[in-house]
DNA sequence: ATTAATGTACTATCTGATTAATACAGTAAT
DNA sequence: ATTACTGTATTAATCAGATAGTACATTAAT
């Protein structure tokens, strides 16, 4: 998995978010074993302590669990994962909608904007496919 | 103007964002004089230095200018303000769209989600109006 | 039994952001 | 001239987050 860490926000929070995203988007499968803390930290280019902190929080939320010496695993509970996925989508949508309200964009303007971005994305895809 | 500062991200960046938002959404009008650094800082509940830092950055971008002793003002350039408004909307929309892609939501699912939130918002409005 | 890998814990240090407390320079109003 | 308000600058202290380095206990593999 590839990590995108910037210096705008606490690194451990970015690690939490991106790990959650990797889980809900299927980059990590239910029940799958994760690389070790040290390996993950090296992969992400952060200190092992920081990665440990992020993983510990993900455990508290139940999406991960660790077995003392054999490693750390994604939960088997697929329903929990799907719930998380929808919860994140809803959160993102609400944030987006709030932002648009603050910028005084009408529903029409929002729709037009999104459509433009959607088309643009389709074009990129078809361009890279040939 | 009301400020919403949390501890998730650098305060001065939140001040920049919220000031920009206040400008593009018309809470501050073109050419209008801002309260003094000290007053704004008190209003937002932050240290004057932090507010000063945020305002200084907004000046570098041209959206504000200060007159040494008479105060600080919003730019008169309405086109610049409108450009900023659209730029922020586009940025938000792109971020939202990227998030949705990462969560593997289809265009239909995105549309359904937004519609739901939009309806919910309409309901809140009409409820508070009577 | 030994080795290597795991998660976990601890302490010290460093850095950036924030706060705090002043101070200075310019100008408008009196 | 004096007063009161501007923006601006400086220095020190504080705090959270991140890093660095090391250590320990447990278990699977050899």
Per-residue pLDDT tens over the stretch A23-67: 999 999 999 999 999 999 999 999 999 999 999 999 999 999 998
Does B27 lie at the interface with A, CB-CB under 8 angstroms?
A: no
Q: What is residue B33's three-state secondary structure?
A: strand
CB-based contact A14:A6 (threshold 8 Å)? yes
Q: Find the Å distance, CA of residue B77 to C1' of nucleotide C19.
A: 35
Percent of chain B at pLDDT above 70? Answer: 98
- Stretch A67-90: mean pLDDT: 93
- The pLDDT of residue A128: 77
Measured distance CA(A13)–CA(B102) in Å, rounded: 17
Measured distance CA(A90)–CA(A24) in Å, rounded: 14
Measured distance CA(B14)–CA(A45) in Å, rounded: 27
- The pLDDT of residue B130: 56
Residue B45: count other Cβ atoms within 10 Å of its Cβ: 9
Does B1 lie at the interface with A, CB-CB under 8 angstroms?
A: no
Residues of chain B with confidence (pLDDT) below 50: none
State yes or no: pLDDT of A114 exceeds 70.
yes
Residues in B 42-101 with any Cβ partner in A closer than 8 A: 85, 88-90, 92-97, 99-101
Residues in B 104-123 with any Cβ partner in A closer than 8 A: 104-105, 107, 109-110, 113-114, 117-118, 121
CA distance B68 to chain A (A): 31
State yes or no: pLDDT of A85 exceeds 80.
yes
Structure tokens at B12: 């001065």
CB-based contact A63:A75 (threshold 8 Å)? yes
- The pLDDT of residue B14: 93
Nucleic chain C contacts, Cβ below 7 Å? A 7, 34-39, 48-49, 52, 55-56, 59, 66, 68-72; B 10-13, 46-50, 53, 68-70
Which residues, including other chains, have CB under 8 Å from residue B101's CB and lie 6 or more apart? A121
Tell how far CA B22 is from the center of its chain.
5
Structure tokens at B10: 């650098």
SS3 content of chain A, % helix, strand, coil (to 5): 65, 10, 30
- The pLDDT of residue B6: 87
Nearest to B117 among A24, A97, A103 (CB): A97
Which residues, including other chains, have CB under 8 Å from residue A80's CB and lie 6 or more apart? A62, A63
Q: Is the dihedral of CA B115, B121, B124, B127 positive or negative?
A: negative
């Amino acid at each position: 998995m590839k990590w995108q860490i910037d210096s705008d926000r606490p690194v451990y929070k970015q690690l939490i978010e991106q790990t959650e995203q990797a889980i809900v988007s299927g980059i990590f499968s239910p029940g799958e074993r994760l690389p070790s803390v040290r390996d993950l930290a090296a992969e992400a280019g952060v200190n092992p302590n920081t990665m440990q902190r992020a993983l510990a929080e993900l455990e508290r939320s139940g999406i991960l669990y660790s077995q003392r010496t054999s490693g750390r695993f994604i939960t088997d509970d697929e329903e929990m994962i799907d719930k998380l996925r929808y919860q994140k989508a809803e959160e993102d949508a609400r944030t987006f909608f709030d932002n648009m309200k603050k910028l005084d964009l009408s529903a029409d303007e929002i729709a037009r904007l999104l459509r433009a971005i959607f088309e643009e994305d389709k074009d990129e895809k078809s361009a890279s496919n040939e």
